[in-house]
Structure 1
């Protein structure tokens, strides 16, 4: 504290202990007046505390409001108005949760400075800076501030200036105005305030200092404990957050911040629990694991004659693709996928166990690209693309086996910000990610009839164009959008009819039939477009292998979902691995493909292509021989962002029947334990495998 502030504290303390001379009525009146004034200002502090708390949240919510200058302020009001409406009508108190957290920060500032008129402009200025940063990031990338963005602070801060959007001057101007107004208003108020904003008289003596320290540490510990626990299933912070109405919507970080508040949305992602460290984890253990699967890979490679990068490989994640005729209780008047059904009968194919139902696309995508399994992660980790990849130090993925980034291309005819894909694909080693917006615009964007989504045929055309740009081999990741929910009646000449299957105990609702009918037509369009796509690949004079799979079932089967016996059926999609005529593996059909999960696709593709494997892919090959498919515990409701906290992961045998860990043989248990060690080292551990040849293909 400086001398001036010390004197002010002493003056306030003297006022508080001054005795009243009974013979001095004027002095008594002055003392009474002073006390009254101080009481009035205490009330003013309390009222302003609440108003400034709310104003700070409003400023930060302005940061994630719509970016159009005409609707910024109105959308901020609508945003907060929606929160108020939900609190009053639904008991959703996420607005209150945001205000409480900001109030705790405010209290810390008040106690640290012991000056109301200093802490207040600091809080409002910080809110303005956060809002301006949010606004500019959203304008540039349509993505809210994430905890991983803090990595840019320090030596990389200057690089951020290269990405300022055109509206940056206006955003800076509004933020500066908020800061200036808050400072000027505080200076004026402090001038008329007899306490000069001091909150604790004698705040620098032993008692006052202890009170201030306590009121700084207590809120800090509360916020810190909340931030560390809110991302952990079944923790106190998790229950507080969910109990007050936090409903994570992490597929879209901007919507999540709008819906749940900037503060709550950010803190939820600060410290998610990735995995428990295996008891045997150490450098020595990981060296042993690497050596063990190095030997297995060498054994596998004795009969393999090619390398993965001898071919172009295309992963096609077909949005919500899954045979509706397999769903209990559903019957259609004709087959929506005759071409793919025929293709599946001629090549490596089967059913894929999905961790999602009605959503969760990016998790399946992540597993396919990394070979890692959601079954091994803690239930707290609900979305690796948001909670893990942005801050990861090491992100090995299968596309990196094709060498430099220019050999890895991603295509997705939708918003590149969804699941933070644009950022994550760069980190995964892709040189281009073609989408509807951003630096790389996908070339074909045709829709069918009244559908709002780009057709699969158009997406395949864009893929063929990328494939023909080079004679070299590539890895292409294609994520379609045509069959994304909702399933409104937007196709003309839709001849599909939906009926209750024979023996159904409960009839389908009219809403279900309408959605299934539209979905079935979309499936038929995908079926035709996929056949045409493969025929075009057959005409290309270089080896190409396609891994095609549906990510999850659409969330339209409420009747089937009401029966828990249908859990596995509602998590099985279709997949196939196909090679064109220019490939030596054309017409190949490998064994043990009846069931799979996306983490095993790279191992299956290598077997399809008779390609040599790395120790990691060698491990996945052995793992798939013992466990055909694996996913976290599944439910029959639409994919949310809360995983089941308890229960065994789902393991399927080659016959498609669930396996119990207790009944597994020693070799299978060893593989599962090694899988957790490998996954922990890559995602949460010390990356011991990074300095080995574990991920490297044989030369």
Structure 2
């Protein structure tokens, strides 16, 4: 391979050609040495960011030398590809360093904030990242960014001291394509790659991606997750297996009125069915070592005494709102998707039956209402596929009240009431608020903090819990506005109110740790009981109709729709009827926690419940990724329903 020396830079023109420049063999040796050494240095830097300790990083590199070499191989291929793309060695090293180090920083902060690392599908969230960045930017993150910029700048300065080692065009094209092909083959894991990974004792820990990245290294774990975007077929999935499930559902009576299929009786006045998923809503009074000058969530506490209520087991902590929507609206579970997956971004690209399409089929107007931008999490497209008739986002709020940096929860409630009052048909509304979104830093987020919170907190953590408590209080008041209005309404109405996940209260779950709510800031050290606490959000179900009151110790989000249909004596579509049956045996189901009917906690599905959970998994695969066999045997109208032809006409005028 012949290495050419490009025209000298202005700096180099002022001096005599160096020994390197006069000796092609030396130049070749130098470039080869750089290409071999740089990936080791990059791998060290990437892993040091994650582990925050030179000792721990070197220990991982020596104990897991096999995994180190796989990470180095991936980084080497990336360096070579970028080199062939740009044609200059030093700038290529700078660009590659920027990409890998930036990815490591993103992963570090994601783990600190919400407990999950950087995934390939996060790259699809370019607009969302721009919006989220100001919310999580703080002094610590700024320091890292400054160091990164200085580091990359120093690499670029080396260009003034060293010549530009360029390659012939044909060599760049051929070597670049080979490196790209090898990266692709690594991602899809062809047999030789599988053999290499088995030989290197790679463990792809899908159910715990934080551990997956920590053990295998950032580059290797990220590469393995490229293949995880495609769902494997569950064992035993076939037309015959789905037909057997359909036959069972066709004959099974779940309650006196909740049978599969059917519709709401024409003689019954149809109630408005309103779901309000309040951003990061949680009850801060659950922290036993913390006191409040007044009850921050009095409406919730009153409703917990008087109405159907309980706790929902969310798959998320601190973020991932759309996954909770996905579970509630479809009845599907993200527990069966790769850990860290974002269903809205990755999997919903065609019609998918949901509560929205179900109620539309019953003569309802189905409306999604969100006090934030329409493109976030691809909602503007996903809601069409889920069968909503309309989607009112923040772009359609007129001169809204702003509080805490976002549209106020009271404003959200006023808009919801307006939509119900102006619509003659009964309404199904899925509402998502925004006011209480993190971050909760800043002394100026709220002009007044009347509720005084006392606990053994650092000043930084105190600021977080003060701001969060005010947001939770305002969320509670927003719910009160809705209830006060519909108490006076002649329209029968049901309101289901809950949070999507616990809030993001500092790095390493600072507030929860300092209050004693959990004994460690590291999720891998949490007990099963602590995992349950960190994933449990309160929910209440209020109605101006005469409905029986029930108490639910725990319920996964994916089962909520079935319980609401059952409470209203509505006949369930097949997937929700199947969910209802699963929930009787396994009411709590997330990737790292299973809760059975006796409220016993397990790290994985116990043997006695594996059959019913496997049935649940097969139905979800059939609906999302498979052949849609179920629609051939049962509930064809619901399962085959396409997008509403009038989707969002009213808000696109």
TM-score (norm. length: structure 1): 0.60
Give 2:287's aligned residue: 327
For residues 610-634 of structure 1, give each alpha carbon's deviation from its aligned partner in whole angstroms, at most 9, with x where no partner exists.
111122222122222222222221x
Q: What does 1:100-499 align with in structure 2 at a 5 Å threshold?
A: 104-105=80-81, 146=124, 199=171, 216-217=177-178, 219-226=180-187, 233-234=204-205, 271-273=227-229, 275-297=231-253, 300-301=256-257, 306=264, 310-379=270-339, 381-389=340-348, 392-403=349-360, 407-436=365-394, 440-443=395-398, 445-448=400-403, 451-488=404-441, 489=443, 490-499=445-454
The CA deviation at 1:595 is 2.0
Give the Å deviation of 1:607: 1.6
Judge conservation of contact 2:74–2:219 (CA < 8 Å) in 1.
no
Higher relative contact order (CA 8 A, sep 6+): 2
Question: Could you say if the C-alpha distance between residues 460 and 227 of structure 1 is closer, same or farther in structure 2, counting changes exceeding 3 Å?
Answer: farther
Question: What is the correspondence of 1:498-513 to structure 2 with a 5 Å cutoff?
Answer: 498-500=453-455, 507-513=456-462
CA distance in structure 2 between the aligned counterparts of 1:532 and 1:464, rounded to whole angstroms = 9
- The aligned counterpart of 1:607 is 566
User: 1:468 Cα shift?
Assistant: 2.5
Q: CA separation in 1, counterparts of 2:125 and 2:477?
A: 43
- The separation in 1 between residues aligned to 2:79 and 2:484, in whole angstroms, is 62
Query: What count of residue pairs does the alignment treat as equivalent?
Result: 502
**247 and 478 in structure 1: CA distance in 2 versus 1, 3 angstrom threshold:** farther
Question: Cα RMSD over matched residues?
Answer: 5.1
Deviation of residue 590 (structure 1)?
Answer: 4.4
Task: Output the CA distance in 1 between the equivalents of 2:80 and 2:169.
Answer: 18
Whole-angstrom CA distance in 1 between matches of 2:282 and 2:257: 34
Q: Go from structure 1 to structure 2 and tell me whether the alpha carbon gap of 1:198 and 1:607 turns closer, same or farther (over 3 Å shift).
A: closer
Gaps of 5+ in 2: 3-19, 36-44, 58-67, 89-120, 127-165, 198-202, 506-510, 521-525, 640-653
Alignment deviations for residues 361-411 of structure 1 (CA, whole Å, 9 cap, x no partner)? 2221211111111223343x522122322xx44522221112379933222
Q: TM-score, normalised on structure 2?
A: 0.64
Residue 463 of structure 1: how far off its partner (Å): 1.4
After TM superposition, the structure 1 = structure 2 runs for residues 42-53 of structure 1, keeping only pairs within 5 Å, are none
Instruction: For residue 595 of structure 1, give the secondary structure of its aligned residue in structure 2.
Output: strand
Secondary structure of the equivalent of 1:553?
coil
In the other structure, the counterpart of 1:682 is 623
SS of 2:426 mapped into structure 1 = coil
Taking the aligned partners of 1:619 and 1:198, their CA distance within structure 2 comes to: 59
- CA–CA separation in structure 1 for the residues paired with 2:183 and 2:213: 12
**CA distance, structure 2, for counterparts of residue 467 and residue 45 of structure 1:** 74
What's the secondary structure of 2:552's corresponding residue? coil
- Structure 2 distance, partners of 1:411, 1:613, is 24
Contact 1:336–1:521 (CA<8 Å) still a contact in 2? Answer: yes
Report what 1:561 is aligned to. Answer: 518
- How many angstroms does 1:544 deviate by? 2.4
Is the contact made by 2:74 and 2:220 (CA closer than 8 Å) also made in structure 1?
Answer: no
Unaligned runs of 5+ in 1: 1-8, 13-35, 52-81, 111-115, 118-142, 149-192, 201-211, 249-263, 501-506, 634-648
| Superposition pairs of residues 12-31 of structure 1, within 5 angstroms | none
The within-5 A match list for 1:638-653 is 649-653=593-597
The answer to whether the 8 Å contact 1:401/1:696 transfers is no
